[in-house]
A and B are shown apart, each in its own frame.
Chain A
Amino acid sequence: MAMNYNAKDEVDGGPPGAPGGAAKNRRPDNTAFKQQRLPAWQPILTAGTVLPTFFIIGLIFIPIGIGIFVTSNNIREIEIDYTGTEPSSPCNKCLSPDVTPCICTINFTLEQSFEGNVFMYYGLSNFYQNHRRYVKSRDDSQLNGDPSALLNPSKECEPYRRNEDKPIAPCGAIANSMFNDTLELFLISNDSAPYAIPLKKKGIAWWTDKNVKFRNPPGGENLEERFKGTTKPVNWLKPVYLLDSEKDNNGFINEDFIVWMRTAALPTFRKLYRLIERTEDLHPTLPAGRYYLNITYNYPVHSFDGRKRMILSTISWMGGKNPFLGIAYITIGSISFLLGVVLLVINHKYRNSGNTADITI
């Protein structure tokens, strides 16, 4: 019938090239676009395309999953909770605000040696760095070294915008709540005095953060001068220009500060604290053995049921320990494969009644 229709339409065509420019324009253009005849690819989900896709996904995902899982399992990781809420914990004493400075020590043992670069993290739980009011409570202009923002921080910083009529630098709740425990790691060896593991405090922040996003305010040589007219955040013990002794790790570009300012997505998070670089000799970076962690306990979390942890971890090509990803890949790969099989069976069984069914009108 379609043929019929078209043929008639042409017959109906009348004299071609009839006169009258205006009238002629009324005739729709015979373009593929306007006549909806654009060449097109019309994909259909056929057994020939769908089933191989499922099998291929299965075949790709399972090995990847196994790879990730194995890699993840090879990563050494140890976590030490030093919140000190349990009475038995050595840090229990530090819960009271009266003891300042409070230093506590936790002993632990590495069963296996940690090879390669080892990363030391502090972990916080139940700490809502992703709270809306928290997240926005900063002034990136100030942190970028903008002199006007330095002295007149953004309103977003309220209530940590000014203290005693002086602008706070860095302003805001994020900066104000910066983690300020000090962690030191010692290897206890039987023959000699405890060996302090060298902890590298530079190279823990993103390059873009350190070099683009955070900048100290311009001005004289002296960092203190550059921050003149500002005051330290309320909770801080010392002003921002005394965060570190090294000049390129002080002020806003202090890496501990930068790491803290990169807020976490979830209420339980870990942040990189120190690097323990691979030693040149054949020894593992952290040989198996007994260690103790020396904590200068400044950062109260128990009031909101927070937890504090110290984590030591090695990494792989895909980062730290991540069992979820591997398991997920294996699972999804298997499901996909199974689904492929099921669909294959269904397709085989019912194909005759399906695709080649009569078109009934």
Chain B
Amino acid sequence: MRATKGYPQFTDLTCLSPSCRVSHGIAGTLLGEMALCAKKRPPEEERRARANDREYNEKFQYASNCIKTSKYNILTFLPVNLFEQFQEVANTYFLFLLILQLIPQISSLSWFTTIVPLVLVLTITAVKDATDDYFRHKSDNQVNNRQSQVLINGTLQQEQWMNVCVGDIIKLENNQFVAADLLLLSSSEPHGLCYIETAELDGETNMKVRQAIPVTSELGDISKLAKFDGEVICEPPNNKLDKFSGTLYWKENKFPLSNQNMLLRGCVLRNTEWCFGLVIFAGPDTKLMQNSGRTKFKRTSIDRLMNTLVLWIFGFLACMGVILAIGNAIWEHEVGTHFQVYLPWDEAVDSAFFSGFLSFWSYIIILNTVVPISLYVSVEVIRLGHSYFINWDKKMFCMKKRTPAEARTTTLNEELGQVEYIFSDKTGTLTQNIMVFNKCSINGHSYGDVFDVLGQKAELGERPEPIDFSFNPLADKKFLFWDPSLLESVKIGNPHTHEFFRLLSLCHTVMSEEKNEGELYYKAQSPDEGALVTAARNFGFVFRSRTPKTITVHEMGTAITYQLLAILDFNNIRKRMSVIVRNPEGKIRLYCKGADTILLDRLHHSNQELLNTTTDHLNEYAGEGLRTLVLAYKDLDEEYYEEWAERRLRASLAQDSREDRLASVYEEVESDMMLLGATAIEDKLQQGVPETIALLTLANIKIWVLTGDKQETAVNIGYSCKMLTDDMTEVFIVTGHTVLEVREELRKAREKMMDSSRTVGNGFTYQEKLCSSRLTSVLEAVAGEYALVINGHSLAHALEADMELEFLETACACKAVICCRVTPLQKAQVVELVKKYKKAVTLAIGDGANDVSMIKTAHIGVGISGQEGIQAVLASDYSFSQFKFLQRLLLVHGRWSYLRMCKFLCYFFYKNFAFTMVHFWFGFFCGFSAQTVYDQYFITLYNIVYTSLPVLAMGVFDQDVPEQRSMEYPKLYEPGQLNLLFNKREFFICIAQGIYTSVLMFFIPYGVFAEATRDDGTQLADYQSFAVTVATSLVIVVSMQIGLDTGYWTAINHFFIWGSLAVYFAILFAMHSKGLFDMFPNQFRFVGNAQNTLAQPTVWLTIVLTTVVCIMPVVAFRFLKLNLKPDLSDTVRYTQLVRKKQKAQHRCMRRVGRTGSRRSGYAFSHQEGFGELIMSGKNMRLSSLALSSFTARSSSSWIESLRRKKSDSASSPSGGADKPLKG
């Protein structure tokens, strides 16, 4: 991984406290807190930096290049960390309780019941923070101590990165990281060019060119650079990666500077021997740092619900406190005053009212356990467990890329079980971004279909061996083709086939690189072109090298150099590109490839018959979801060409409307062409994409594809991954350029949908009231399958405030939505739109830097890892390497997480209400004095020892149905989307059950104990025996309840549940033992109580009675529900139990017929302008000067082989190592 070479990545230290979510990796480590590093300065207006003048630059106190992402040092750790932790509401609340407990008049519990859990939580968090910070320190040090060569006093000196200052000139060498934001001064390459890779910054892996301004590009050696004293005045530090504006003042001249002259920190220098740069921004001011803002903290809907509920519980707590306080005031007034004979009031208490006030706080203390601190800790632990399960999942591990799935955040797991909308990127996510030359049609003959022995078209998986390219030493081993007849045709020398591949090997803008003899590498601007040129290469037409004026091709083993006369470059309007070459015989020929729609109109009329066959083939290819191109050629005679070239030159020099003139000149020559054939390229889908999409659709998840690609490509992929199908009622395509057009198109789409779903006649009145909720509901219920395709400019209008709702309604009524040509910002806007109006959980999945905004916006962001760029992964919450893993992430992990979290919360609230409310009832019998029912140790340990592990085990391990079933029955996912398992209603049920239990828990022992005596005649109803009885029944009842709730009893669950009971009794007897009492008589007052109480048959009869009464109704209700209104999961479980094979219901993927509408698209996805670059030779180092400077170098770049080739062909034009092969 490239990233590991650069900025150290951290092992996944997962957070326990929600506050500490720090995204990992570069963005996470370098971001945010580095503000601490720099001293506070007034905001910069502009930046001035003078080269080689440290004194001058020091005046401005610019940030140094030292970065600091760590938060603490040894001294500040404790105070700062504690300060941060107490900013958590929960922690402050418990601190507040602790303080209350220190007031003797209020203290109803001893201080340790609160301090033990609090300290535990604080310590765990602190240890985790400390470890995190330690690793941050380590990485900071590593980055800061990297070496770079700085020009100081006229000599190059090794300096650590952190000592680099603004205004320094530093030297970078090939494959080095750029240390700070630099102004490129000069480089080893001609024209001051240099190549950088920006994957760390924006995720794009193709190389980018940067160029020094001409005046500085001549400063090649150190002595000149040392004298350079230009001053740069530029914009203040900002986070715009693609913009820079500044001016260089040097020698009384001004030179404008742009982003094209900048090398940003985080980039890597490639293919450039060395370069010099002037540091403009350092450390925290660099664009990389400015960009790495703290990731927005995401909360799940369960989190928000939980917080609301906790607030309600606080309200409830206050109510109970008030009731009991009033009770206390009345009691003290009515009874307490008279009881003062035996129990005088505290000194400070002078009235019943004041006593009531104090008792309010006392009750707040003892009732606080309804929201115990362990709730938050447990939730974090459970999520952590779920995250580990995701990380550990073997079925989400990609063997090919050796990348496991990774849960990068631990706070969102249960939301994975509630996703309703998925926003997916296309390239690299749905598709592999690998183009494969799949089929071709040459002169009316189609090649590429695979036939098995019986002559049937073979399906995937049963293919025979691919054909053998061993005749060709230059063949690419990775290229596979199955149809031997094409090779046959090449070998027998079919002129059409030869011309076909010759075209492919000549007409492109690919650059070749030959590291060793025969090891050819192609650098293609678009993968389509790469695929085509590679195909030609394997079939014996090897594009070997090019110069601005020539192209050398090995045709069937013979090196032939064509003279490159012109490249008629690609652009979006032309949708084609052509080259004009002169072959060694001197004939001039134009080769053209382009979109069928364009090219077929420009053919010579003699082609009619061939055209028909080829069109049939094209239709067939398109039906299979392949991307097609049509190839044609045209012979030009010398005079015509000369004359045309003249006109072209004039057009290109024209001052006004140069583009148009050139286009028409091109247009003229690209006519009356002879059709050669067509190619079909497969845009390879990621594995299992159609199946995954189908499954997710069945799970009621809507999938929207947001892509920067062209409409044709996007629609094509839509079809090939079965989002769009031919049996869809209609696919609406919105391409309007104006607001009105878009509105009209959307309106028409809605009309059509409603017309089909409603009886005619009442249709048109509704459509006017677009925002009415009625419309939405009508649209939600639209029958029939529709799809919407919308492109970038239309989307821009559709996302405007007055139309967004219209757009959303239309889109949501459709089964599939494809947005093409969208910008990264629009991606985020679409997600935001759905988030805003739909109250649904959204998930965005993507692989590239352009998906970052969408990934950050959506509730859940998923990054496709294992790709070159890591930006998307860094911004994501989950990452894995294959789109298909999404189904497992959602349907298995998400569903389980949601289920577990819901069950956990239900049980947790239940057990704490059952536990705490007993105090409330007891209040009525103890004079509202805030006397606890239980022993203080029981209160301390109840939540952290006796009942924590079973519920944690359930929260971590529970499963309702096995994983295969979640895939078989995607409808099992629905409860999550509808929020059925934990909502306010469920909460109230849990609370009611808890209160019911608490009532029984108090009143049954009360009824028994009121008058009872022990079997030795002594009093039974003493406070301590009562406490032990209630506590024991409670532990048994909640254990029974967790037993009922646990659906999946693993050994761990058994261990924890039985273990908790055992531990309860063990601790009970230990606490009540003589040994502890002898040491601390005042702390362990219950001595001998356990053995005395639990030896009583009455006590056990009470416990059994309480347990049965508490559990029986629950069992009855659950049984009834299971019997009368079973959930799908219940049914699945039941059927599994009775082992009925469900065969009829087995839902198969619908096979979509291959016949289809014609969806031919121009396959180029590359940019315009490369033709010009090639012809100018700017990206080649061919001048004799440059060549000579290369001789000494052992570099293995393509230029080397090119040079060798040149001299080879000069000495023996037709010779060479490889003999021509004729087959």
Interface string of B1108-1151 (1 = CB under 8 A from A): 11001001101110111010101111110110001001111100
Pick from B1012, B1018, B1074, B1116 the residue with the most CB of A within 10 Å. B1018
Q: Name the interface residues of B690-715: CB closer than 8 Å to any CB of A.
A: 691, 695, 698
User: Is B929 a contact of A361 with CB atoms below 8 Å?
Assistant: no
- Cβ-based interface call for A291 (8 A): no
Interface stretch, picked from A8-16, A103-111, A190-198, is A8-16
Contact of A129 among B969, B1023, B1088, B1138 (CB under 8 A): B1023
- Cβ-based interface call for A245 (8 A): no
User: Is B1112 a contact of A336 with CB atoms below 8 Å?
Assistant: yes
- Cβ-based interface call for A238 (8 A): no
In the bound assembly, the distance between CA atoms of A139 and B1085 in angstroms comes to: 10
Q: Report chain A residues within 8 Å CB of B1101.
A: 64, 68, 318, 325, 329
Q: Report chain A residues within 8 Å CB of B1020.
A: 319-320
* A159–chain B nearest beta-carbon distance, Å: 6
Q: Report chain B residues within 8 Å CB of A303.
A: 338, 341
* B1151–chain A nearest beta-carbon distance, Å: 13
Q: Name the interface residues of B301-327: CB closer than 8 Å to any CB of A.
A: none
In the bound assembly, the distance between CA atoms of A355 and B1126 in angstroms comes to: 8
Interface stretch, picked from A84-92, A163-171, A256-264, is A256-264
Interface stretch, picked from B140-148, B507-515, B775-783, B960-968, is B960-968
Interface size of A by Cβ–Cβ distance < 8 Å? 122
Interface string of B1085-1098 (1 = CB under 8 A from A): 10111011000111
User: Is A315 a contact of B1013 with CB atoms below 8 Å?
Assistant: yes
Interface string of B992-1026 (1 = CB under 8 A from A): 00000000000010111111111111111111111
Contact of A44 among B341, B1016, B1137 (CB under 8 A): B1137
Secondary structure of the B contact surface, majority rule: helix
Contact A300-B341, Cβ < 8 Å, known A26-B402, A128-B926: yes
In the bound assembly, the distance between CA atoms of A324 and B1024 in angstroms comes to: 21
Q: Report chain A residues within 8 Å CB of B1050.
A: 38-40
Interface string of B1065-1109 (1 = CB under 8 A from A): 000000000100110011001011101100011100110010011
Contact A4-B691, Cβ < 8 Å, known A28-B397, A265-B1025, A354-B1124: yes
Q: Report chain B residues within 8 Å CB of A325.
A: 1007-1008, 1012, 1098, 1101-1102, 1105
User: Is B695 a contact of A1 with CB atoms below 8 Å?
Assistant: yes
User: Is A212 a contact of B1087 with CB atoms below 8 Å?
Assistant: yes
Contact of A272 among B344, B1017, B1085, B1137 (CB under 8 A): B1017
* B144–chain A nearest beta-carbon distance, Å: 26
Interface string of B336-357 (1 = CB under 8 A from A): 0011011110110000000000
- Cβ-based interface call for A346 (8 A): yes
Contact of B339 among A14, A47, A128 (CB under 8 A): A128
In the bound assembly, the distance between CA atoms of A361 and B929 in angstroms comes to: 57
Interface stretch, picked from A181-189, A201-209, A216-224, is A201-209
User: Is B925 a contact of A267 with CB atoms below 8 Å?
Assistant: yes
- Cβ-based interface call for A285 (8 A): no
Nearest opposing residue in chain A for B956, CB measure:
A36
In the bound assembly, the distance between CA atoms of A278 and B1115 in angstroms comes to: 48
Q: Report chain B residues within 8 Å CB of A20.
A: 402
User: Is A132 a contact of B392 with CB atoms below 8 Å?
Assistant: no
* A72–chain B nearest beta-carbon distance, Å: 9
- Cβ-based interface call for B192 (8 A): no
In the bound assembly, the distance between CA atoms of A6 and B1082 in angstroms comes to: 63
In the bound assembly, the distance between CA atoms of A114 and B1074 in angstroms comes to: 38
- Cβ-based interface call for B913 (8 A): no
In the bound assembly, the distance between CA atoms of A320 and B1018 in angstroms comes to: 9
- Cβ-based interface call for A280 (8 A): no
* A323–chain B nearest beta-carbon distance, Å: 9
User: Is A320 a contact of B1012 with CB atoms below 8 Å?
Assistant: yes
In the bound assembly, the distance between CA atoms of A209 and B988 in angstroms comes to: 45
- Cβ-based interface call for A231 (8 A): no
- Cβ-based interface call for B927 (8 A): yes
User: Is B1145 a contact of A35 with CB atoms below 8 Å?
Assistant: no
User: Is B1134 a contact of A259 with CB atoms below 8 Å?
Assistant: no
* A232–chain B nearest beta-carbon distance, Å: 16
Interface string of A239-262 (1 = CB under 8 A from B): 000000000000000000001001
Query: 11 A-B contacts, Cβ less than 8 Å apart?
Result: A4-B691, A8-B687, A12-B687, A23-B402, A44-B1122, A50-B1116, A264-B1023, A265-B1023, A304-B341, A359-B1132, A361-B1145
Task: Give the A-binding residues of B (Cβ under 8 A).
Answer: 104, 108, 335, 338-339, 341-344, 346-347, 362, 388-389, 391-395, 397-400, 402-404, 687-688, 691, 695, 698, 887-888, 896, 925-927, 929-931, 957, 959, 963-965, 967-971, 1004, 1006-1027, 1047-1053, 1074, 1077-1078, 1081-1082, 1085, 1087-1089, 1091-1092, 1096-1098, 1101-1102, 1105, 1108-1109, 1112, 1115-1116, 1118-1120, 1122-1124, 1126, 1128, 1130-1135, 1137-1138, 1142, 1145-1149
Q: Which 6 residue pairs across A and B have the least CB separation, nearest first?
A: A208-B1088, A265-B1026, A2-B964, A320-B1013, A14-B399, A177-B342
Excluding A50-B1115, A134-B343, A318-B1015, 16 further A-B contacts by CB distance (< 8 Å) are: A1-B968, A12-B398, A38-B1051, A45-B1115, A140-B1081, A144-B1077, A177-B342, A208-B1089, A259-B1018, A264-B1022, A266-B1021, A267-B925, A317-B1097, A320-B1013, A354-B1124, A355-B1123
